[in-house]
Amino acid sequence: MKKNIDVIISKEQIEKRILELAEEISRFYKGRELIMVCILKGAVIFFGELAKNITAAVKMDFMRVSSYGSRESTSGNIMIVKDLELDIADKDVLIVEDIVDTGLTLKTLIGVLLARRPASLKVCCLLDKPSRHKADILPDFIGFSIEDRFVVGYGLDFDEKYRNLPFIGAVKN
Ligand code: IMP
Ligand code: MG
C-alpha cells in the first residue's frame, strides 16, 4: 500500500457493493438487453467488475469526453474525444461513470445521448459527492455517497496516477 494514501473504501467493501449493484441492475433489466457505456478512463475498473456480475444480456461500448477548464470550474461544456461505436437508438442504455462531482459533465452527456433516442437511459456511478452537485442529476444506481474529498484509486486518478489502486483512497497532503 502506498503510504501517502489514506484508505477510504476498502477493496472488500467495493467488491461487496459492486455485487449488490450488479444484482440490482440485473433485476432491473431482466429479460432485456442493455448497452453498458463505460466513460473512459475513470470508470474502466468499475465497469469491468460490474459487467462481470450482471446476468442480463450486455453489450459494451466506450466513450471518452473531456471537459474544458479545471475541475473547480467544470462548465459542462464537453468535447467528445471518443464516441460510441454502437447505435443506441431504441436500446436500453446504462452509462457507467466513476464519480459524479458537480454533475455538469454527466448532465451534458445525458443530453447528447438522449438526442440519439435510446429506449431508456440510466446512470450508474461508483461514487457520488452529493454536496458538490450543481446540476440536478440523480444517478439511478450509486455505489457509495461520499463527502467532498478528492479521491483516487479504482480507476480514479490524480494527474493520471493511482488509477490501478484496488481501493478508494485520499491523497495525504
Ligand atoms: P463533474 O462534471 O464535476 O461531475 O466531473 C466529474 C469528473 O471529474 C469525474 O468523471 C472525474 O473524472 C473527475 N473527478 C471529480 N471528482 C474527482 C475526485 O475526487 N477524484 C478524481 N477525479 C474526480
Ligand atoms: Mg471521469
> Between 64 and 71, whose confidence is greater?
64
Mean of the per-residue pLDDT values of the chain: 93
In one letter, which amino acid is 131? S
Q: Does any ligand 1 atom lie closer than 6 A to the CB of residue 161?
A: no
Distance in Å, CA 22 to ligand 2 centroid: 20
Catalytic residue flag (residue 101): yes
The count of C-alpha atoms lying within 13 angstroms of the C-alpha of 50, restricted to the half-sphere facing its C-beta, is 30
Mean pLDDT, range 142-152, rounded to an integer: 96
Mean pLDDT, range 86-112, rounded to an integer: 96
For residue 140, pLDDT over 60 is answered with yes
Q: Residue 46 — very low, low, confident or very high, per pLDDT cuts 50/70/90? A: very high
- Check if the beta carbon of residue 141 is closer than 8 Å to that of residue 36: no
> Between 21 and 135, whose confidence is greater?
21
> Between 49 and 2, whose confidence is greater?
49
Report the share of the chain in percent with pLDDT over 90. 86
Mean pLDDT, range 125-148, rounded to an integer: 95
